[in-house]
Amino acid sequence: MEAPPVTMMPVTGGTINMMEYLLQGSVLDHSLESLIHRLRGLCDNMEPETFLDHEMVFLLKGQQASPFVLRARRSMDRAGAPWHLRYLGQPEVGDKNRHALVRNCVDIATSENLTDFLMEMGFRMDHEFVAKGHLFRKGIMKIMVYKIFRILVPGSTDSTEALSLSYLVELSVVAPAGQDMVSDDMRNFAEQLKPLVHLEKIDPKRLM
């Protein structure tokens, strides 16, 4: 069920294959304020946007070895916002010069009965967490600074505890496949956040 690398697939029409370019880092709690100030200066001028999301990750064990992963995200502080379903592919093994993690990305807005639908389809919830933090934007780049909370009682988002004393910082761009200069822009922006945060491409497989 895993798609072959997207850049090899022929374009047969329909939607454009979007890739997510990602750089990640973290910042300790006591340095969060300075990071927020710096981001407010560097990013587009807009109202500081905070978010409180509940994300659930669903797995479908298929015929192949690795299961199919879908991420369902809902907003806990914005009533009426649609649920967000996301598919993220395997990171593309490009040349070492590419500065960001690149993976295929499909984003869909759905209605509220998403979890029921997925369960009926055979997906099982693997894990869930609550993300609470700030959102910044610079052009097509999106910067999220958020804290991950572990859910203690499955199904209830009231009892949460923070996973660590740091905030996760993610710089991401969703762009059509093949645009590698995006990663250069991202690297330049990441340079401006040093030495507060070191944004780098972290391969999740290394951390297994």
What tokens appear for 136 in the block? 């910044």
Angle between helices 181-193 and 32-42 (to 10 degrees): 130
For position 173 contacting other proteins by CB under 8 A, the verdict is no
148 closest CA partner among 137, 140, 160: 160
Size of the site for other proteins (CB under 8 A): 44
Range in contact with other proteins (rule: CB under 8 A) among 11-19, 42-50, 115-123, 132-140: 115-123
Q: Shortest distance, CB of residue 74 to other proteins, whole angstroms?
A: 16
Q: Return d(Cα 9, Cα 3) in angstroms, integer.
A: 9
For position 59 contacting other proteins by CB under 8 A, the verdict is yes
What tokens appear for 172 in the block? 């991401």
Q: Shortest distance, CB of residue 164 to other proteins, whole angstroms?
A: 5
Interface residue with other proteins among 2, 17, 18, 26 (CB under 8 A) is 26
Strands 68-75 and 124-138: unpaired
Interface residue with other proteins among 57, 76, 174, 177 (CB under 8 A) is 57
Site residues for other proteins, 3-22, by CB under 8 A, read none
Q: Return d(Cα 36, Cα 51) in angstroms, integer.
A: 14
Q: Return d(Cα 152, Cα 111) in angstroms, integer.
A: 26
Binding site for other proteins (CB under 8 A): 24-28, 31, 34-35, 57, 59, 61, 63, 65-67, 69, 119-120, 122, 124-129, 148, 150-154, 163-166, 168, 195-198, 202, 204, 207-208
